[in-house]
Structure 1
Amino acid sequence: MKIIIDTIPDNTPADAHLYLVGNFNRWQPGAPAYQLKPQPDGTYAVKVPLMNRPIEFKVTRGTWESVEAAADGSDMPNRIIKLPSPETVAVQVAAWTDLVVRPPRKHTASPQVQVLDAAFEMPELGRTRRIWLYLPLHYATSKERYPVIYLHDGQNLFDAYYSFSGEWGVDETLDQMAQTGGPQVIVVGIEHGGEERINELTPYKNPEYGGGDGKKYLQFIVQDLKPYIDAHFRTKPEAEHTGIGGSSLGGLISLYAAAHYPQVFGKAMVLSPSLWFSNKIFKVAKKDFKNTRLVLLAGEQEGEEMITNMRQLYEQLMAQGFPEEHIWYQTRADGDHSEWFWRREFPEAFQWLYAKN
């Protein structure tokens, strides 16, 4: 099937390259195979494979920061091509997120959320990163110590002001749980590095997408960020009280972290993990992290490989003697590779991970 872009914004840079990102390429922006080629008539075109389900996609200039936007600058929902797929689809790009005046955004974070540091040093990577912090509802009025969970893609956790595609509502979820006797934890949200996201959230290199700085990224969390949090806040620093989690590439690096740092992370929330990035990730099944509580959750609408790969991982873990009661393996028929899905599933996954029993 051919997708044609016949209209682009007037302020599109002359040297811009246009790409499709969607469920046919694992939602990786800037993939060379899906770069649209300029046509003699001034349009841009690329072919995408036919699928046995609706095709979802967006147009970018190579990164999520430069994804298309609606004419008023607001976020665009995924474009959807329903079955049966036509031979050709023409689309119009109204605006680019980074080149349009966006509607005023409101902060939606609860009072329990703060920016710990807008430029926390990452010496292993030679850069800095914004770090968000959620403190439990009763933190200020108690002397308790609390478990901690470190979550990737911090822009999307608490505050719609910073999110480009919707926030998870982690703060509202935990505030509500605190009112009904649910588990209370400190949440540390680590902003993703924009163009460095693939590098930082992948422990291995991929021949097409690069990456491979995930080991240094985890060293930053283990050697710098966690010691700082434990020194400045009332945490329970032991592995049994410390979790790590994320979605997509964030799920991938969280799985790797759990397997390689079981003395640090005793819990891992692995949502829609990008196991396709490297077959080497399946070697984690042989690691000794059997005391870890592990969430494995994905949606059946996320791509041809998602459930197949996750099931393969689960079966390999079982074959290596991983306790079945330590894994919460779940699939959802309607689940898509989107923030709305992870927002919906976070409360139940979190409660299982941090249940007192």
Structure 2
Amino acid sequence: MLALCVPCIGLAQHTLTVRVTAIPEFHAGDPIYITGNFNRWNPAEETMILQKQPDGTYGISVLLENVPSDRLEFKFTRGSWPTSECTADGRLVGPRLATLDRDTTVVCHIEGWRDDFPASTASPNVHLLDSAFYIPQLGRHRTIWIYLPADYETSGKRYPVLYMQDGQHLFDEATSQGRIGPIEWGVDEVVDSATSKCIVVAINHQTDYKDRVPEFYFRPNEDYPSVEGPQYLAFIAETLKPYVDAHYRTLPDKAHTALAGSSMGGLITFYGGLAYPEVFGTLGVFSPSIWLDHGNIENELTILTNIANIHTQRYYFYAGTSENRLKLDSTFVHMNDDVQRAIGLLRNAADPEIELSVREEGRHGALYWREAFPAFYRWFIAGTRQAVH
């Protein structure tokens, strides 16, 4: 079996041997690649092609360094993320996990290839609100998606509304992107299966990730002296929400209006709650990138002026205990610590209702936000029911 060395610096070397004993019937002659946290999730690294063995199985042995012994992550592809392995019914899942504290052999069975199934995973209840909705505050256009409950056309009811950042990644694998493949949040499936429904309005981020970042910073910092967060939030609160309320049967009051996002989208969601506490009653702040904000959010929490409105809000925070980031000065940031510190400042400043969800070993990415979203949704809906009574 082919042996390869992946050069890194740090931990002791161990050999990972992977054997794939069964693959789908289709594409049997295509190369199979292994990718993971040992090669920066490159889905088509030529040195990572599995070799067909005389017994018909596929295998590779890789000498690895600097991979956490308790957290080896990997997946299989046929050379691109659209050709990732998937379940037998065509859904992408999280990475395979293994412990690598010694030379290790892992035996796998690939159930399916993602490109053998329909590209779109979106519910029929997801609709394109506008492919080029104008943002007057920024002078640009943006794709906006809207989820309408299945009974919307016939019920005559009004619904709570959840506004969400990064719309590409919420409903559909065909539009999502990610470090470990196009794993979407499954927001539509969660609301589809819920007893109480809401409308979801999802705002796409800028196509280029580097252009996404300025929109999600609220205060200037040394990395981004010019930011667009205030204009972006003004668009949601002052342009998009009035449009949605005018064209759809919404419950437009604060108690039935939520804003949610993750990572940098979680950071701007947090600011959205503080800047528009009379508009957004519930905030879903998933893994907010506080560590990138140069202390601005902490400062913001010490100078709040609209205390009465913030006090009547509800904040849902999510963080994983393994969401660690290496800073340029070689120190580590722990997402859970950042969130706990921000919660303490928020409590001292205005004492709104706060719910904290911490996932042990949770990491940074759509896989974990997808798993965390159902609990947030139930919490949001429970709050809207209380508001009615």
Same-fold call, TM cutoff 0.5: yes
Aligned pair partner of 1:71 in 63, 71, 79: 79
Long gaps (5+) in structure 2: 1-5, 10-36, 38-65, 85-93, 103-114, 325-332
Instruction: Label 1:51 to 1:106 Cα distance change in 2 as closer, same or farther (>3 A).
Output: closer
Match of residue 176 from structure 2: 163
Distance 1:211 1:354 in 2: 37
Do 2:322 and 2:360's aligned partners in 1 also have CA atoms closer than 8 Å? yes
Instruction: Label 1:270 to 1:190 Cα distance change in 2 as closer, same or farther (>3 A).
Output: same
Structure 1 counterpart of 2:351, which letter?
F
Match of residue 248 from structure 1: 263
Is 1:329 matched with 2:356? yes
Q: Per-residue CA shift, 1:171-202, capped at 9, x if unaligned?
A: 11111113xxxx31110000111322101111
Is 1:283 matched with 2:283? no
Whichever of the two has the greater Rg, that structure is 2
Do 1:198 and 1:211's aligned partners in 2 also have CA atoms closer than 8 Å? no
Q: Per-residue CA shift, 1:289-314, capped at 9, x if unaligned?
A: 11111001111111132011111011
Task: Tell which deviates more after alignment, 279-288 or 136-145.
Answer: 279-288
Is 1:306 matched with 2:335? yes
Q: How far off its partner does 1:319 sit? A: 2.2
Is 1:144 matched with 2:173? no
Q: How far off its partner does 1:2 sit? A: 6.7
Match of residue 199 from structure 1: 214
Instruction: Label 1:199 to 1:52 Cα distance change in 2 as closer, same or farther (>3 A).
Output: farther
Match of residue 292 from structure 1: 313
Q: How far off its partner does 1:138 sit? A: 1.8
Is 1:188 matched with 2:201? yes
Distance 1:300 1:83 in 2: 20
Q: How far off its partner does 1:81 sit? A: 11
Q: Per-residue CA shift, 1:176-230, capped at 9, x if unaligned?
A: 113xxxx311100001113221011111234336662111111111221111101
Aligned pair partner of 1:177 in 173, 184, 194: 194
Q: Please, what TM-score do these two structures have when normalized by structure 1? A: 0.71
SS at match of 1:132: strand
Aligned pair partner of 1:316 in 336, 345, 356: 345
Q: CA RMSD in A?
A: 3.3
Instruction: Label 1:302 to 1:209 Cα distance change in 2 as closer, same or farther (>3 A).
Output: farther
Structure 2 counterpart of 1:175, which letter?
D
Q: How far off its partner does 1:50 sit? A: 9.5
Distance 1:81 1:204 in 2: 41
Instruction: Label 1:280 to 1:82 Cα distance change in 2 as closer, same or farther (>3 A).
Output: farther
SS at match of 2:311: coil
Do 1:147 and 1:235's aligned partners in 2 also have CA atoms closer than 8 Å? yes
Counterparts in 2 of 1:1-357, with a 5 A limit? 3=8, 71-74=79-82, 106-164=119-177, 165-178=182-195, 183-195=196-208, 196-208=211-223, 212-278=227-293, 279-286=295-302, 287=304, 288=307, 289-303=310-324, 304-323=333-352, 326-355=353-382, 356-357=385-386
Long gaps (5+) in structure 1: 5-21, 23-48, 58-68, 86-101
Q: How far off its partner does 1:137 sit? A: 2.4
Instruction: Label 1:198 to 1:72 Cα distance change in 2 as closer, same or farther (>3 A).
Output: closer
Q: Per-residue CA shift, 1:89-137, capped at 9, x if unaligned?
A: xxxxxxxxxxxxx877522111211011111111211211110000122
Structure 2 counterpart of 1:219, which letter?
A
Match of residue 42 from structure 1: none
Distance 1:83 1:52 in 2: 4
Instruction: Label 1:265 to 1:52 Cα distance change in 2 as closer, same or farther (>3 A).
Output: farther
Do 2:70 and 2:98's aligned partners in 1 also have CA atoms closer than 8 Å? no
Instruction: Label 1:216 to 1:254 Cα distance change in 2 as closer, same or farther (>3 A).
Output: same
Runs of 4+ in structure 1 deviating by more than 6 angstroms, as ranges, are: 49-53, 75-85
Distance 1:266 1:337 in 2: 26
Distance 2:264 2:164 in 1: 12
Structure 2 counterpart of 1:327, which letter?
I
Match of residue 34 from structure 2: none
- Count of matched residue positions in the alignment of Structure 1 and Structure 2: 288
Q: Please, what TM-score do these two structures have when normalized by structure 2? A: 0.66
Task: Tell which deviates more after alignment, 75-84 or 244-253.
Answer: 75-84
Distance 1:344 1:54 in 2: 19
SS at match of 1:172: helix
